[in-house]
Structure 1
Amino acid sequence: MELRHIRYFLAVAEELNFTRAAARMGIGQPPLSQQIKDLENEVGVKLFHRIPQGAELTEAGQAFLEKVKGVPDLVQDAVQSAQRAGRGETGTLNLGMTGTAALQPYFTDAIRRFRRSFPDVELTLEEANSVGLINGLMDGRLDVAILRPNATDPEELQKYQLLEEPLVIALPEAWASSDSSMALVTLRDAPLVLTPRKVGITLHDEALRACRDAGFEPVIGQSAPQIASIMSMVAAELGFSLVPASMQQLQVQGVVFRAISGEAPLIGLTLAHRRIGASRITLNFVQLLRQLAPTYASQVEPLEK
């Protein structure tokens, strides 16, 4: 049984006249009669009585009508739902981001715009360190993630560099002068508070590199798994840390931020998703972020083709 048979049946059932139904459907009356006959043969019962004024439904036809009258609308809804899903307008987007990315106006703006453009997409957010985000992408728990890139990231991921930001010094308020910047080397004897490398490779390595470029090997202090715990340790005067500049938006009692004198080291933020099997929703989100990036950074370049 084909959908056209249902449509022809409904036209005759509503018009109760084969000629008017044929005109309504844009076909000749004989072909319409043949289509109804084919339908009756398939169902196995008569659906219409032919009468001088046109046609009337049999009891079987009335029962058939009750069951199929909503079929065309149901099919149309299904078609529209499929088309919307194909355009990435419905479904779920599982987005992961680092704690520092969540502080970037760029990403909060992007999420706001995405929600306005695709209000029927369910957006779930997960905050984790970059290693956890990579694992989430690889095991399929996440569709897309905003993270700190590293050369060891799996080749199965497609990555786009979105922006870079300088590292700044986070230090106990009691240690700080009134100057807005300071030479990193002045902290050579102070403990450096870092995330363990296994959970934050990029930030860990860049902090060490910045100290070594400044001419000293840092004294490694307490490790902290999250950026919030780093701030707590700094506030407790357990040492200083080097953090992305976006962290300055946080007001942590006992912690002050200072720019690094001279050319500050930069740390990037990257958008990543699986190369194979990325959903239309994921690609819509990627497109939006890449279009919006020039507003916040000079350019957006793929890290790899």
Structure 2
Amino acid sequence: MEIRQLRYFIAVARELSFSAAARKIHIAQPALTRQIRSLEESVGVGLLERQARGVTLTPAGKVFLQDAERILSCLEEAKHNAIKTEKGMQGELRMGVTVMLLWVKELSGLLKEFRRRYPKVMLKLNTMLSGPQINALREGNMDLGILIFPPEGEEFGRLKIYQDHLVLVAPVCSEIASNPPQCLADIRDYDFVWFDRENSPNYYDRLIGYFNQCGFTPNIVETGNDSVTMLSVVASGVGCTIVPSSTINECPAGLTVIEVVDLKSLPLDLQLVWRQDCVNPMLDNMIKVAHELVCGDDYH
């Protein structure tokens, strides 16, 4: 049984005439007759009753017609789905992002515009720190990362979508709040809440290196896994911390945000990061949308 035989049978069943069907599908009538006979032999039952002025469907033929039309419809749907997937119009795009960066309007605007253009693509957002994001990208478990300070080298492609800076956060009742520091060296003797290096090695090393350049070696007394945890610890009255300003959408109760010149001098580029060897049309479309929003032109 061949797909073309199903098409031939449907044409004859709709026209109830071999000659009319042959003209409609542009095939010689004898050839059409042979194909229908071959189909009936394959099925094992008669599908058409031949009459002097045309044909009629047998009871088995009526049932077979319904199934044949459904099969061809499914084949057409499969074809369209394959084409849409090839063009990145549908499927699943796996993205990593730290929780608090989801508040950045440039990122939320990008996700909104992508959903508008590609409504059939499911964005699977995985909240994770930058270290696990890089590992997931390298292992092929994620298509796109959204992070600060990705590793250098040609392994990854990058596109900056937003520039941030760091801010100092302390309890409102602390000495730091009443006497704001002018530079990082001014807080070298204060208790500091930070995060473990294993969570975001590249980010950790870049910041600690910059702190040291500014004459500041943090006196770390407690650690948290992410900015939310670090802010919660500080809000409980333990020390101070430094976080990207974008993570302080509205300062939590009991905390104050302090701008320090040294921190404003270190730009934090929020970047889309992907593997250069990743072949994914949906990823290409996301990069294209981001490039248009950020740069105002097409991405090639």
Bucket of the pairwise TM-score, normalised by the shorter protein: 0.7 to 0.9
TM-score, normalisation: structure 2: 0.84
Partner of 1:267: 268
Q: Secondary structure at the match of 2:198?
A: coil
Partner of 1:24: 24
Partner of 2:73: 73
Partner of 1:133: 133
How far off is 1:177 after superposition? 4.4
In structure 1, how many angstroms separate the alpha carbons of the residues matched to 2:88 and 2:150?
30
Identity, % of aligned pairs? 29
Which amino acid is the alignment partner of residue 193 of structure 1?
A: V
How far off is 1:18 after superposition? 1.5
Partner of 2:167: 168
- After superposition, the Cα gap between the structure-2 partners of 1:48 and 1:269, relative to the gap in structure 1 and judged at 3 Å, is same
Most deviating of 33-42 and 165-174: 33-42
In structure 2, how many angstroms separate the alpha carbons of the residues matched to 1:261 and 1:276?
40
Q: Secondary structure at the match of 2:248?
A: helix
- After superposition, the Cα gap between the structure-2 partners of 1:57 and 1:159, relative to the gap in structure 1 and judged at 3 Å, is same
Q: Secondary structure at the match of 1:215?
A: coil
How far off is 1:84 after superposition? 1.9
Runs (5+) with no aligned partner, structure 2: none
Q: Secondary structure at the match of 1:250?
A: coil
Q: Secondary structure at the match of 2:247?
A: helix
Most deviating of 49-58 and 14-23: 49-58
How far off is 1:60 after superposition? 4.9
Partner of 1:192: 192
- After superposition, the Cα gap between the structure-2 partners of 1:233 and 1:59, relative to the gap in structure 1 and judged at 3 Å, is closer
CA contact (8 A) 2:145 2:274 kept: yes
How far off is 1:106 after superposition? 1.0
- After superposition, the Cα gap between the structure-2 partners of 1:66 and 1:224, relative to the gap in structure 1 and judged at 3 Å, is closer
- After superposition, the Cα gap between the structure-2 partners of 1:232 and 1:26, relative to the gap in structure 1 and judged at 3 Å, is same
- After superposition, the Cα gap between the structure-2 partners of 1:206 and 1:190, relative to the gap in structure 1 and judged at 3 Å, is farther
CA contact (8 A) 1:150 1:201 kept: no
CA contact (8 A) 1:94 1:142 kept: yes
Runs (5+) with no aligned partner, structure 1: none
Partner of 2:288: 287
CA contact (8 A) 1:192 1:221 kept: yes
CA contact (8 A) 2:49 2:57 kept: yes
In structure 1, how many angstroms separate the alpha carbons of the residues matched to 2:236 and 2:63?
79
Which amino acid is the alignment partner of residue 208 of structure 2?
A: L
Q: Secondary structure at the match of 2:115?
A: helix
Partner of 2:201: 201
How far off is 1:152 after superposition? 7.0
Count of matched residue pairs: 297
Partner of 2:113: 113
Which amino acid is the alignment partner of residue 89 of structure 2?
A: E
In structure 1, how many angstroms separate the alpha carbons of the residues matched to 2:17 and 2:91?
44
Q: Secondary structure at the match of 1:249?
A: coil
How far off is 1:2 after superposition? 2.3
Q: Secondary structure at the match of 1:115?
A: helix
In structure 2, how many angstroms separate the alpha carbons of the residues matched to 1:17 and 1:148?
69
* Root mean square deviation, CA, Å: 3.0
CA contact (8 A) 2:106 2:161 kept: no
CA contact (8 A) 1:100 1:244 kept: no
Which amino acid is the alignment partner of residue 65 of structure 2?
A: L
CA contact (8 A) 2:193 2:224 kept: yes
How far off is 1:107 after superposition? 0.9
CA contact (8 A) 1:114 1:288 kept: yes
How far off is 1:232 after superposition? 2.0
TM-score, normalisation: structure 1: 0.83
